[in-house]
Amino acid sequence: MEKFLQQLINGISLGSIYALIALGYTMVYGIINLINFAHGDIYMLGAYIGFAVTSILHLSFIPALLISMLSCAIIGIIIEKVAYKPIRNSTRIAALITAISVSLFLEYGTMYFVSAETRTFPEVLKGKQIGLLNNKVLLNTKDVYIVIITVLLMLLLQYIIYKTKVGKAMRAVSHDREAAQLMGINVDNTISYTFAIGSALAGAAGVLVGVYYNSIDPLMGMLPGLKAFVAAVIGGIGVIPGAMFGGIFLGFTETMVSAYGNSLYKDAVAFAILILVLIVKPNGLLGKNVKEKV
């Protein structure tokens, strides 16, 4: 039982990070039906921005988190305007190839400027071990901080989506882009807001990962980005609660496989679950069946 509780804590912490990244995937897909494979690399840029702010400017954790989120939001808008807007009405394969190209550009462009070596993230958020159940279960305060920040950001996202004009516009464009445009909604600005919010959440995840694992590198966004995509699909891509559920579920699954099986198989299990979900329920566990007019 103690081992299970320990892995549960680890899984929730890891799953919270996956959920933050998955939210960006699911928001963009819900608005323009685009799978933004460059999203994992924005998460990587968030980690490097947080690293630069803390190591060069010597700022604390909260300012680094906010600056990283703001910077990634701007980067997300630029990527949307430069790379995705010109091919918005093109075929899906063109959009997919563009997304992969942007991903590679960000990875190797970052590698050109900062080199490929792994950097040690400054310890701006000191962790402390808290013993539970007679010290049989250890709770790191970093895990608590990650979960609290993730929950706060998700609540803020829910408020934006359901209580603001921007969120109302997002939901309208997601439902019917042409009708929303006829009603006076600026679709281009709405899409830019979506990229900005999703990229800001990815930037926050990058800083949290840097603080938690204390190491970053230019290719760190590849596998977590794919797993966050898996989490979004498992929960139901285009459904915000589904991205949250999928992230926590995937993080919990990975830690359990590592603890009770073999850590070498955790990635294989994650993608096996994706295949199983796509076979049994293609729209995700929390997704709804949607009929398209042809």
Contact 207, 47 (CB under 8 A): yes
pLDDT at 293: 47
The residue type at 184: G
Summarize pLDDT for 127-180 with one digit per residue, the tens.
777 777 676 677 788 888 888 998 899 889 989 998 999 999 999 998 888 899
- What torsion do the CA atoms of 217, 221, 222, 227 make, to the nearest 10 degrees? 140
Contact 31, 176 (CB under 8 A): no
Torsion angles phi and psi, residue 120, rounded to 5: -90, 120
Q: Give the DSSP letter string of 68-105.
A: HHHHHHHHHHHHIIIIIGGGTTS-HHHHHHHHHHHHHH
pLDDT at 261: 78
pLDDT at 91: 85
Global pTM reads 0.90
For residue 63, with 0-12 CB atoms within 10 Å meaning exposed, 13-18 middle and 19 or more buried, which class applies? Answer: middle
Q: Which residues of the chain have pLDDT under 50?
A: 292-294
Contacts of 54 (CB under 8 A, 6+ apart): 60, 61, 64, 121, 122, 124
Q: Give the DSSP letter string of 221-262.
A: THHHHHHHHHHHHHH-TT-HHHHHHHHHHHHHHHHHHHHHS-
